[in-house]
């Protein structure tokens, strides 16, 4: 019932105003504020390419805030330590089970820390690598081979992991891809246009999935 109310209220609200997305301001000392141009650029791309109406003024929200429920998509990134308090865990779990979506994008160096915190959120669930035929890889743009590689890091293959509850992906963890760097303004990382476009297209898939699925 809570899930139905969340979706109903969100759908009604977003017909009247622009949708808004947020970056997660987590504790633990990690640089949650990395990639400041990434989400505004992704919002602009989605508005142009998949006909969304996303406010490009991206908000920040803490894990324990009631405001978390205002956002259908919350992005989390960084390079270092992550810590969720018990209050954070309870609020975030309720948010995700009520129709919310958390996308964690490792900006390099986050993996060791964030997996422990994901375990707190869903201790009875395992992060599962998503197959290439998962809906999120074709929701707006086709990626038949799965997650695109944007930055090299440790030269490992890019992987997308998820937590799925009752058939809905509620948490996406992208690793060894660094989509967020690809969303940043082109002068920041000097990525080739085709690489940057792949990152934005995959981001649009994630946004569309989070909003509609």
User: pLDDT tens, 59-73?
Assistant: 999 999 999 999 999
Neighbour count for residue 36 (Cβ, 10 Å): 12
Q: What angle do CA 142, 76, 127 make, to 5 degrees?
A: 70
pLDDT confidence of residue 151 = 83
For 46, the domain range is: 2-212
Distance CA 102, CA 26 (A): 13
Contact 43, 21 (CB under 8 A): yes
Q: Report, as an integer, the average pLDDT of 45-64.
A: 97
Domain count, the chain: 1
Tell me the CATH number at 177.
Answer: 3.40.50.12140
Short-list 114, 127, 123, 122, CA closest to 26: 114
pLDDT confidence of residue 154 = 76
Q: pLDDT above 90 covers what percent of the chain?
A: 86
Backbone angles phi, psi at 176, to 5 degrees: 60, 30
Neighbour count for residue 47 (Cβ, 10 Å): 17
pLDDT confidence of residue 10 = 45
Contact 112, 78 (CB under 8 A): no
Strands 168-175 and 128-129: unpaired
pLDDT (tens digit, 9 = 90+) per residue, 90-138? Answer: 999 999 999 999 999 999 999 999 999 999 999 999 999 999 999 999 9
Across the chain, mean pLDDT equals 92
- pLDDT at residue 168 is higher than 90: yes
pLDDT confidence of residue 187 = 95
34 contact partners, CB below 8 Å, separation of at least 6: 77, 78, 79, 107, 180
Backbone angles phi, psi at 32, to 5 degrees: -60, -20
Contact 26, 82 (CB under 8 A): yes
């Amino acid at each position: 019932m809570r899930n139905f109310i969340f979706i109903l209220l969100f759908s009604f609200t977003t017909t009247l105003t622009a949708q808004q997305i947020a970056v997660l301001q987590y504790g633990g000392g990690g640089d949650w504020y990395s990639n400041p141009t990434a989400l505004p650029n992704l919002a602009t791309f989605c508005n142009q390419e998949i006909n969304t109406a996303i406010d490009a003024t991206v908000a920040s929200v803490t894990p324990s805030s009631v405001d978390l429920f205002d956002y259908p998509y919350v992005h989390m990134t960084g390079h270092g330590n992550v810590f969720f308090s018990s209050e954070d865990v309870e609020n975030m779990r309720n948010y995700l089970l009520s129709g919310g979506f958390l996308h964690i994008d490792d900006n390099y160096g986050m993996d060791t820390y964030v997996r422990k915190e994901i375990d707190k959120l869903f201790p009875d669930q395992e992060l599962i690598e998503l197959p290439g035929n998962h809906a999120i890889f074709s929701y707006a743009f086709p990626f038949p081979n799965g997650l695109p590689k944007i930055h090299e890091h440790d030269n490992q293959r890019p992987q997308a992991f998820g937590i799925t509850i009752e058939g809905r992906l509620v948490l996406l963890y992208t690793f060894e891809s660094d989509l967020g760097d690809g969303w940043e303004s082109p002068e920041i990382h000097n990525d080739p246009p085709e690489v940057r476009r792949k990152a934005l297209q995959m981001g649009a898939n994630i946004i569309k999935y989070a909003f509609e699925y």
